[in-house]
């Protein structure tokens, strides 16, 4: 049982880092640091977006952007930490 819990916690940690990478990449694209016309940048950004966006779209329905700031990654951080806390309590 501990192995399954450890795997779930690791999967949540990986997803947390993917959310962070997606947020940083979106800032870099918005500020013009990353050029989306570059094929490799586009593929990496699109891949991150396809992995992270389904969960963030659901959160954006519940918590819309306020003042141009998207709080959905922060809400997902909170949800992931609560899930990890719950999984750790099952040990």
pLDDT of the chain, 91 residues: tens digit per residue: 899 999 999 999 999 999 999 999 999 999 999 999 999 999 999 999 999 999 999 999 999 888 888 899 999 999 999 999 999 999 8
CA distances from 52 to 3, 44, 69, 81, 86 (A): 25, 12, 17, 16, 22
* Single pTM value for the model: 0.88
Contacts of 83 (CB under 8 A, 6+ apart): 12
- Give the per-residue pLDDT at 11: 97
Residue 66, classed as helix, strand or coil, is strand
- Give the per-residue pLDDT at 91: 81
């Amino acid at each position: 049982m501990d192995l399954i819990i450890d795997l779930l916690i690791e999967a949540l940690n990986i997803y947390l880092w993917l959310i962070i990478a997606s947020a940083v990449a979106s800032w870099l694209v918005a500020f013009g640091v990353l050029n989306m016309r570059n094929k490799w940048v586009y593929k990496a950004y699109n891949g991150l977006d396809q992995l992270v966006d389904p969960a963030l779209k659901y959160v954006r329905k519940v918590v819309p952007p306020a003042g141009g700031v998207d709080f959905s990654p922060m809400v997902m951080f909170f949800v992931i930490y609560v899930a990890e806390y719950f999984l750790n309590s099952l040990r």
